Amino acid sequence: MAIIAAFVVSASAAEATTPTHVRQLDALLGATTRPDGPGAEILIMRGDTVVYDQARGLANVELGVPLEPRAMFRIASITKTFTAAAIVKLEQDGRLSLEDPLSKYVPEIPGGDKITLKTLLEHRSGIADIVHQLPAVGADGVLSTAEAVAAIAPLAPKFAPGARFAYSNSGYILLGAVIEKVTGKSWHDAVLSLTVPADLATGVVYGDARRLIPKRVNGYIDDHGVATNASAIDSSIPAAAGGLIANAPALGRWMRALCQGRIVSAQDFARMRAPGGPDTTGPYGLGLYLWKARGQDLPGHSGQIDGFTSAAACLPDSDVTIVILANNENFDARGNLLRTAAIMLDEPYVVPPAVTPTPADIEALSGTFVSPTGDVRTIFAKDGRLYSQRGARDPAPMQMSATRVLRFDPDALAYFIPQQDREGRVTALDFYRDGEGPPARYARSTTPAEPDGAAR
């Protein structure tokens, strides 16, 4: 049997979900996985009750082993939320302060006297991100914390500490070094003992490649229906930035406990979900992305590592917790988490049917558009199809609705709405990254785009 589906419903859960929810969630899983490829699991809790838990696809493609609930996945950067919670717990215990300079614990980093633990947590330290360039040391490919620090130390800072947001795995690896210095334990032993309750201890563990972990699944890259084995890096390399593995039920219970003020205090969770830096609309707090779904706050984190993607978040106002785990590096866990949240809020994202752009549409929409922050997007057509390109990256195919709304194909969550002047000329594109506002306005530019290597 190539598909395993587990649907858990209690008496109280029947009131917390509806047949419409189930039908929409089943359709979402069906559209984003296939029976003979790597799979995904979606788990939803309302309060303490699991109201939906389904897994589809394969845990091992070569052996045809079905993916089952409670499978253990690499959760990648969701590890950062655990690391941040551990740092906050250590502050609660009086063992450190978020305002402490990095140099107090890791003196090897130049300029560490001006970098606080808080700016590391907020990705505002200026430390360059080199996790994918970190060397694998030793015959077993394991990287020690000291070796990681030594590799990060020579990097030139990208900007002055606190100046702006720039995602840095290196910063969280250094936070792992801080935890080791303060506790005298390995970062993962300390993080797990500080933040994971005993009843969840077997469901959230360090991803030690040498240890046998029941139900640990294989990781894949599924490219247009062709699956290949992912080249896995040892968990010691991403370390406190991405080295944990978990199953969906344990991760869901942990995320809800965090959001309920039971991992850190309610006051400290409020600090974790507050935007970092001077920008009150910033994208990140302390180890948490600050997403929104249909107007509701959705603090959480996503992750991607060789062969796996993940996302976990809570809707505090609705007491809903969502976990999505996939053993496919190309699975859109974050986008599907937002879609799942919208379904549970009874406002699913609706994608209008695509139409073929006419020559007039292509002429009106083609051009270079620039955001207030200087981000450049070029819209152009090839063989009658529209594409969006940022810098030197590969063009992303677009689909257009009858009203000229542009969406990434196949990622239909983000979209552009063209803005026209009185003569009907397209003067700007309003970009809705997460399926809703507020949008970022890209004004038409007469200057050709310069390649900058930015991601889509």
Confidence grade of residue 279 (pLDDT, cut at 50, 70, 90): low
Residues 300 and 365 placed together within one structural domain of the fold? no
pLDDT, residue 136, reads 56
Residues 75 and 196 placed together within one structural domain of the fold? yes
| Residue 298 within any structural domain of the chain | yes
CATH number of the domain within which 374 lies: 2.40.128.50
Residues 341 and 222 placed together within one structural domain of the fold? yes
pLDDT in tens, 11-51: 333 346 799 999 999 999 999 999 999 999 999 999 999 99
| Number of domains observed in the structure of the chain | 2
Place of tokens 């559209």: 31
pLDDT in tens, 358-402: 999 999 999 999 998 888 999 999 999 999 998 878 899 999 999
Confidence grade of residue 351 (pLDDT, cut at 50, 70, 90): confident
| Residue 454 within any structural domain of the chain | no
| Residue 451 within any structural domain of the chain | no
| Residue 452 within any structural domain of the chain | no
Q: Which domain holds residue 433?
A: 359-445
Residues 256 and 405 placed together within one structural domain of the fold? no
Confidence grade of residue 410 (pLDDT, cut at 50, 70, 90): low
Residues 313 and 378 placed together within one structural domain of the fold? no
Residues 305 and 179 placed together within one structural domain of the fold? yes
List 430's β-bridge partners, or say none: 417, 441
Residues 378 and 426 placed together within one structural domain of the fold? yes
Residues 173 and 305 placed together within one structural domain of the fold? yes
| Residue 322 within any structural domain of the chain | yes
Residues 303 and 425 placed together within one structural domain of the fold? no
